[in-house]
Structure 1
Amino acid sequence: MNFDKTEILKNICYTELVYGRINKKLKSNFSNVKIEKLIFKTIEETEITNFEKIGKNFYISNLEKNIKITVNSNTFRIITVDKIKK
């Protein structure tokens, strides 16, 4: 499947609840702006071979940062960010 990173980056959006969910999952206390920068940079730097679409979601795995970002493929809304289990 072809993924268009620029389309994802141009359209990503967040809900208020997702910021808390991301901080909880990453065991961090980042500001909303820092979370948005982290996600943008991670998606930008991740090789397209690490993008996967399952059902209605994109899963973007960045092994260097050890995180996987889940994005709704229809709305481009960030759903969550998980640490990758090694």
Structure 2
Amino acid sequence: MSVIGGRWKIAIVWALLHESPLRLSEFQKEFPDINQRMLIRQLRELEEDQIIERTVYPVVPPKVDYTLSDIGLGLEPVVTAICDWGERYHQFLITE
């Protein structure tokens, strides 16, 4: 849980499962409620834990994109199950 815990990490993995690679600006469009500092921190932690891979291209201005590593791709059933549960829970709250 320490690897994918945190408010945004599961959402980041979910986004990369559905569209990859993503650049920082694309994450910011996907998650407008997160500030850039927090997003970069979450991305760095996921990179340190080898869940995502960061690729820097030698161009000016610098281009950086993020993809899931093989270990990160292994999280697909876990993240999908969590998101499915969240949708069921949300529907449960609406029907009460």
TM bracket (short chain): 0.3 to 0.5
- Structure (1 or 2) with the larger CA radius of gyration: 2
More helix by share: 2
More strand by share: 1
TM-score relative to the length of structure 2 = 0.32
TM-score relative to the length of structure 1 = 0.35
